[in-house]
Chains A and B, each alone.
Chain A
Amino acid sequence: MRVLGIETTCDETAAAVVASGDDGRGVILSNEVFSQIAEHAGYGGVVPEIAARAHVEAIDRLIARALRAADVTLDQVDGIAAAAGPGLIGGLLVGLTTAKTLALVARKPLIAVNHLEAHALTPRLTDEVAFPYLLLLASGGHTQLVAVRGVGDHIRLGTTIDDALGEAFDKVAKLLGLAYPGGPEVEREARRGDPERFALPRPMMGRPKPDFSLSGLKTALRIEAEKVAPLTGTDIADLCAGFQAAVVDVIEDRTRVALRDFRERVGRPTALVAAGGVAANGAIRDALARLAGEAGLRLVAPPLPLCGDNGAIIAWAGLERLRLGLTDDMTAAARPRWPLAELEAAPPAS
């Protein structure tokens, strides 16, 4: 089975072809991504109208490239999947309209994929992880702890009540005059800094529900930074180290609580999965590995290129849905807001 996947939810225009063999294993045949970072660079963030303009100019070319790189024609794919949300409406409409039209012309099933579910199902593509598992999704746009029980069957155990984890890294980096995206910069600085010099809070630690809050930590860091300003190289390194140490503590605590929650509500997970750009952070990864070891679980972290926005994860989620008969029709709507809990579930496994 082969599925074409289209991704236009934010500032990446992407298309990919993913296949599965008789054993159900996924293989990425192609994965073409066009990043719009340069187009938004001057604005300090993603500008929705600029993003939509870039998507409509690029998406057909990327699809053609993805098909060519996979060495398949449109007729040889079994389904066409597009991320229908959550995301920026302008881009969603471009991707979804394109997918619907291809599906109509080539007479293929359409699969309207939830972008968050695509991230949630990625470890099944990369590591064949079986349901159920605990997912920590931590990127620039979201921070969630999710019990992934099946296709279309997810329980969100915790989320952030303010900033996303990656967003917090980016804001701290910006505050300290480091480059964007801030995560890798903060991590690099932290490596040579003293995590003990600044006393920073660990928001939400110890709370019974595994939610996150990061704005207080960010504010505390700003106050500390203002106290010692103008900042020297050492100050910056120490501030980054302090910030990262606080985040690591919070993530470890919140994930531990989520694991407890998971056991009570779902049973024993098969794995702890860390996805999203923030999972690239070495200190965070070490903490999660420790925690997984403690719980007797394996830690799975999909490779970085699959943690960002891309078409392969959309194609894979489409493939998982298609093989359960979960398809959509030509009236499928783009959904800028689309919580995982509102997904259509697969019929109970036989």
Chain B
Amino acid sequence: MRILAIDTALGQCAAAILDVASETTIAAEAIAMERGHAEALLPLLDRVMARVDGGFHSLDRVAVTIGPGSFTGLRIGISAARAVALAIGIPAVGVTTLSALMAPLMEDGPKRLTVAAIDARGGRVFVQAIGPSGRLIIQPCVMTIRDVVRNLGSGSVALVGPGATMIAAEARAVGIDAVLHDDLVLPDLAWVARIGAAAEPDEALAKPYYLAAPDARPQDGARLARL
């Protein structure tokens, strides 16, 4: 299966084309950025696809990170993924950022409690934790850092994701052995592709996974000024 993976949910604008069976990356590019994904993504996609024999029409599937992450960022990636799917008639599947971040440590079964964390601002993180047995210890949610640490128990913990350092500091302060994985701060596109390839398109929908309610303030004066 040839799959296009896209991630614009967090601090990178990235796309990769992989052949899942042979585990080879055909082409890939990632640019670190906190904002500007919208302007960067399409030129990047154009460059990456230019290195792929058969171009877009050789794809079998698109996988995209659906969050949690930047609301705007994830909508950009999802819009692009769904448009590719629409244009060539293939499925688009969604992969959560939390599961993509954890995946490299799950490969041979987790050795210790593994926590993926993404900054959700205001002392809170989007978080998910999986125990050494593979059991879900914290299901995906938004939590204060303090509450996360309270749920960790006393054993050794592996931390991934852009919010990992925040958890590490707090965990170490209460004597938990926290192992920071500096190389797993952003989703690895190869893993997004692998998870996406294994997913059931009817279940793993390419729709935003916000994990947070919208800020429900109407536009100023109830209408938009458009002058």
Contacts and interface: CB of A to CB of B under 8 A. Distances in A.
Interaction A to B: yes
A49 B76 CA distance: 14
Nearest to A96: B38
Given A45-B219, A330-B46, A94 B86 contact: no
B218 A74 contact: no
Interface in A41-73: 43-50, 52-53, 56-57, 59-60, 63-64
Interface in B174-208: 207-208
Contacts of B83: 60, 97-99, 101-102, 105
B91 to A, nearest CB: 12
Interface string A332-350: 0110010100000000000
Contact of A87 (B86, B215, B221, B226): B226
Contact of B225 (A47, A59, A141): A141
A74 B223 contact: no
B75 A104 contact: no
User: How would you classify the secondary structure of chain B's contact residues: helix, strand, loop or mixed?
Assistant: helix
Nearest to A164: B223
B72 A93 contact: yes
B75 A52 contact: yes
B219 A97 contact: no
Interface string B83-108: 11111100000000000000000000
B214 A339 contact: no
Interface residues of B, number: 39
B79 A98 contact: yes
Contacts of B217: 47
B222 A44 contact: yes
Contacts of B85: 60
Contacts of A43: 216, 218
B207 A48 contact: no
A88 B224 contact: yes
A264 to B, nearest CB: 23
Contacts of B76: 93-94, 97
A102 B218 contact: no
A159 B227 CA distance: 8
B86 A97 contact: no
Contacts of B214: 47, 49-50, 53
A308 B83 CA distance: 25
A226 to B, nearest CB: 21
A298 to B, nearest CB: 28
Contacts of A45: 218-219, 221-223
A90 interface: yes
Contacts of A56: 75, 78-79, 207-208
B122 interface: no
Given A101-B79, A101-B83, A101-B84, A46 B224 contact: yes
A97 B42 contact: yes
Nearest to A332: B39
B63 to A, nearest CB: 15
B205 to A, nearest CB: 10
Contact of B79 (A48, A97, A159): A97
A59 B82 CA distance: 9
Contacts of B224: 10, 46, 86-88, 141
Contact of B86 (A10, A64, A159, A337): A64
Most A CB within 10 A of own CB, among B45, B83, B219: B83
A340 to B, nearest CB: 9
B227 A40 contact: no
B213 to A, nearest CB: 9
Nearest to B45: A104
30 contacts: A40-B218, A43-B218, A45-B218, A46-B219, A49-B216, A52-B71, A53-B210, A86-B224, A88-B219, A93-B38, A93-B79, A97-B38, A97-B80, A98-B82, A99-B83, A100-B42, A100-B80, A101-B45, A101-B80, A104-B42, A104-B46, A105-B56, A141-B226, A159-B227, A166-B223, A170-B223, A330-B46, A331-B43, A333-B39, A339-B227
Given A60-B86, A101-B79, A141-B226, 9 more contacts: A45-B221, A46-B218, A56-B79, A86-B226, A93-B76, A94-B76, A100-B80, A105-B56, A141-B225
